[in-house]
Amino acid sequence: RGRSYAHWKGQMLNSDELHELYEGLKLNNVNHYDYVLTGYTRDASFLATVVDIVQELKLQNSDLVYVCDPVMGDKWKGEGSMYVPKELLPVYRDRVVPVADIITPNQFEAELLTGRKIHTEKEALEVMDMLHAMGPETVVITSSDLQGSLGSDFLIALGSQRKTRADGTKVTQRIRMESPKVDADFVGTGDLFAAMLLAWTHKHPNNLKVRTCHQLLRKTKEKNSRVYHTRIWTTR
Active site residues: 191
What residues pair up with 68 in beta bridges, in sequence order? 38, 103
b (16+ CB within 10 A) / e for 189-215: bbbebbbbbbebbeeeeeebebeebbe
Nearest to 218 by CA among 174, 147, 154, 135: 154
Residue 130's alpha-carbon distances to 126, 136, 138, 193, 202, in angstroms, are 6, 10, 12, 22, 24
Measure the CA–CA gap between 142 and 110, rounded to whole angstroms. 10
